[in-house]
């Protein structure tokens, strides 16, 4: 099954350029070794094309840059906060806004407000920082995503959906009172950027609310998900991204959001909700951990840029081009036989590392090895999404072994052109033709939490 979007020219003109350094293979081999074969520890100046993440790496529009000059840096009651609040209500529809410095700040506020020691927190596949905050508050994450999400070759158009049978079984086994809330990520990052259908969101909301369980949306890439609903779900083809987004949020009780993705900004985020007491709890904590409730760790100029980017991201043509860039790279790699997570996800292309390097066992960090090999081969930086990111069980200490072991080629918004993606595709295709040379890694330094950021490795 194919969901190809026709190629389209960039809906913007380039007004400024940033030079990049061209390096040799010998240089990159030394840089990789110094970085402990962890792409997060590479210096950005030593990277040719940076597909590590789409978080805070996007290009802002002239409208956003103009807004930077309107920053009201008052400690309390900044006018930029009220514009951000207005934009959030227009796009998402929630009653209350609590700003945070980025998405994980919002995750902390929600986890602290809603989780009691020993409670269960179901979700449609874990995300690293989300689960970490839940566990720090004494919660236990439970994966209730559909089984198709764990199969890279399954072409279900909505592999991010919650499995209602799994969710209902958890409610019956643990008791609704022992479930803090259910979190729904849209799109699902670790499943390969896979979307959630509107029907599934509606049904999850009905089941949760029937049992007095809150639904929290991870809305970090909600505009991408709305566009997938528009193009893949019957009945939504004539609705706008903004209309679809508002309906998505209507089935939930609140959200966490990183402004560093869909909103094209370099910093920022928020938590939102409809319940007055929930909002007040988060506002009490935001002044302790982030900043005052009217800036939440951001400068006024950042809030202005985020509000403007939020409004821009709801424009259909902006999201159409966003998804088209992912599709372009995905199609080039797929036609050459490179094993990928199917279908193409929103914010990037996910390479199936197990199928790319079948000779490297997961215990030797297959995706981590492939990610660093891609850098050494071409100067393209990507990131691991597999056993390293999954970390260890908090009780047994054993490594989680996810079924998906992938390398994420994440696409920053409005940064790279089609020519850049041709280079990326050609280099990975060339490496795939030499895949029998791939070998694994040994972890020689492991931090206590979120190890994929700081762990160091040696080549085997």
Q: Which residues are catalytic?
A: 75, 127-128, 218, 261, 385, 452
Q: Is residue 38 within 8 Å of 456, Cβ to Cβ? A: yes
Lookup: tokens for 280: 């007040």
Cβ-based burial of 90 (10 A; exposed 0-12, middle 13-18, buried ≥19): middle
- The DSSP bridge partners found for residue 217 are 184, 255
- d(CA 4, CA 324) in angstroms, rounded, equals 8
How would you classify the pairing of strands 49-50 and 380-381? parallel
- d(CA 151, CA 366) in angstroms, rounded, equals 17
Return the closest-CA partner of residue 375 out of 125, 15, 42.
Answer: 42
- d(CA 131, CA 204) in angstroms, rounded, equals 20
Q: How far is CA 128 from CA 107, 133, 320, 359, 385, in A?
A: 11, 9, 28, 27, 10
Phi, psi dihedrals of residue 290, rounded to the nearest 5°: -120, -60
């Amino acid at each position: 099954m194919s969901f190809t979007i026709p190629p389209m020219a960039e809906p913007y003109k380039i007004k400024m350029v940033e030079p990049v350094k061209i390096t040799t293979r010998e240089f990159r081999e030394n840089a990789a070794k110094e970085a402990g074969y962890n792409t997060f520890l590479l210096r950005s100046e030593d990277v040719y094309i940076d597909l590590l993440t789409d978080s805070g790496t996007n290009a802002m529009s002239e409208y956003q840059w103009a807004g930077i000059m309107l920053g009201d840096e008052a400690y309390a009651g900044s006018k930029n906060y009220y514009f951000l609040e207005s934009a959030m209500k227009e796009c998402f529809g929630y009653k209350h806004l609590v700003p945070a410095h980025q998405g994980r700040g919002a995750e902390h506020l929600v986890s602290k407000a809603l989780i009691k020691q020993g409670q269960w927190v179901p979700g449609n596949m874990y995300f690293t920082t989300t689960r970490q905050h839940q566990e720090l508050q004494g919660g236990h994450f439970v994966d209730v995503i559909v089984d198709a999400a764990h199969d890279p070759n399954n072409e279900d158009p909505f592999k991010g959906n919650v499995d209602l049978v799994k969710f209902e079984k958890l409610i019956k086994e643990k008791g609704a009172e022992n479930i803090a809330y259910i979190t729904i990520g849209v799109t699902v990052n670790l499943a390969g950027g896979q979307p959630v259908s509107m029907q599934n969101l509606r049904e999850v909301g009905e089941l949760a609310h029937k049992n007095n369980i809150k639904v929290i949306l991870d809305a970090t890439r909600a505009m991408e998900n709305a566009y997938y609903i528009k193009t893949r779900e019957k009945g939504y083809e004539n609705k706008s991204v903004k209309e679809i987004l508002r309906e998505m949020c209507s089935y939930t009780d609140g959200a966490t959001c990183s402004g560093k993705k869909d909103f094209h900004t370099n910093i920022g985020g928020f938590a939102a909700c409809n319940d007055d007491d929930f909002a007040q709890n988060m506002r009490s904590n935001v002044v302790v951990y982030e900043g005052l409730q009217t800036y939440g760790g951001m400068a006024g100029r950042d809030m202005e840029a985020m509000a403007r980017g939020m409004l821009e991201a709801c424009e259909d043509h902006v999201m159409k081009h966003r998804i088209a860039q992912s599709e372009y790279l995905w199609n080039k790699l797929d036609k050459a036989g490179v094993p990928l997570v199917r279908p193409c996800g929103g914010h990037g292309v996910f390479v199936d590392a197990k199928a790319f390097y079948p000779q490297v066992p997961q215990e030797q960090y297959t995706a981590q090895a492939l990610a660093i090999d891609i850098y050494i081969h071409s100067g393209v930086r990507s990131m691991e999404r597999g056993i390293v990111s999954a970390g260890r069980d908090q009780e047994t200490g054993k490594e989680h072994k996810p079924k998906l072991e992938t390398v994420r080629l994440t696409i920053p918004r409005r940064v790279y052109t089609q020519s850049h993606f041709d280079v990326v595709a050609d280099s990975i295709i060339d490496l795939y033709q030499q895949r029998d040379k791939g070998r694994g890694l040994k972890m020689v330094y492991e931090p206590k939490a979120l190890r994929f950021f700081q762990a160091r490795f040696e080549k085997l």
